[in-house]
Amino acid sequence: MSESPAAASPYEVLGVSPSVTDEELRRAYRRKLRQSHPDVGGSPASFHAVQVAWERIGSPESRAAYDGARYPETHFSGNSGSSGTGRAASARTSSAGMKARMHGHPGGHSRQRYLALLREWAGRGTVIDDPYAPDLIRSAPREIRHRLAKALAEENTAQLISGLGIGFTAWHDIATRDDGEKIDHVVLGPAGLFAILSEDWGSPVQLRRGELVGDAIEPGEGPLDEFGTAARVLAKSLRVKFTALVVVAPDEAVTEPLTLPSRGRRPMVVIVPRSRLVGVLRDGIAGMERGSFEKVFELRSTLQNGIRFVED
């Protein structure tokens, strides 16, 4: 079961409130186990989810540990610059050597949206002492939990990008229009220029008819279509061409890379598990046209002079 804030909690899987007694929880588990068993028409996936949920909260000790577990509340702490000005901090050294040049504030806009939605949901005048309290997050509507999960996904992606090395430059929370539309990350390196969408819907996704679908993606939503539109707007305004559009999701959501080949002026789209992102940015992927190292310096100046950042 995913640790994502956007994922169904063990209580939701078992169909009970977090305030139920241990005995009520045990009865709910047995009931759900019978209902989800494949021999009576249930699915193996739902049967397995019920078993995992019980493992997470079935004993008083495991339940207490789960209820007390916190989601990260600190922002990405890499060498990112100001999101308002795009001013980059100087590169810092680490045991792995020089880090990638980083500009902007990864996850900042998504965290602010999470906090705004949380306050709106809680109601006017309600004082929220701790917006990252586990019980508060788990009781919030899925839309709000998804916004926090997305912020964490963006910060995780930025952490991976920062370790790519000094040959790479990244910009985060890039504005594409004045209505708050944004690209999560733009990465420039020897393999090319990439626009990246960091996502975490809290459940597996798959590619169907050129779009991502899954239990947590509402019918009619088009994450790839929206991402592609935002990337086209940005590419046109900067007069650049992206080597590929990359969607990065948790490993449990996408087990192997999924690709949509380039078509016309649309670049290749790659959906990758988080553990494969670094390899794609360093080496590209089969069928992807590798960028020219000579163009990196020219493109870096173009991007640095033209990119605008969303306001937190």
Q: What is the per-residue pLDDT across 103-124, written as a single tens digit (0 to 9) for each?
A: 999 999 999 999 999 999 998 7
Distance CA 41, CA 186 (A): 46
CA distances from 97 to 36, 93, 94, 172 (A): 51, 5, 5, 22
**What are the two backbone dihedrals, phi and then psi, of residue 98, each rounded to the nearest 5 degrees?**
-70, 140
Q: What pLDDT, on a 0 to 100 scale, did the predictor assign at position 95?
A: 40
279 CB contacts (<8 Å, ≥6 apart)?
none
CB contact at 8 A, 279 and 163: no
> Which pLDDT value is given to residue 81?
44
How far is residue 124 from each of residues 3, 113, 121, 131, 141, measured CA to CA in Å? 30, 16, 9, 15, 17
- What count of Cα atoms within 13 Å lies in the side-chain half-sphere of residue 206? 3
Indicate the SS3 state at residue 269: strand
Please report the domains of the chain, with CATH numbers, ordered by start residue: 10-68 (1.10.287.110), 93-306 (no CATH)
Whole-number Å distance between alpha carbons of 32 and 271: 33
Low-confidence ranges of the chain (pLDDT < 50): 1, 74, 79-96
pTM, to two decimals: 0.84
Q: What is the pLDDT of residue 290?
A: 63
Residue 117 near residue 143, CB atoms below 8 Å: yes
User: Please, are residues 156 and 83 in contact by the beta-carbon 8 Å criterion?
Assistant: no
Place of tokens 């590169």: 91
pLDDT of residue 80: 45
Dihedral angle over CA of 84, 85, 87, 89, nearest 10: -20
| Contact indicator for 176, 242 with CB cutoff of 8 Å | no
pLDDT in the model for residue 309: 95
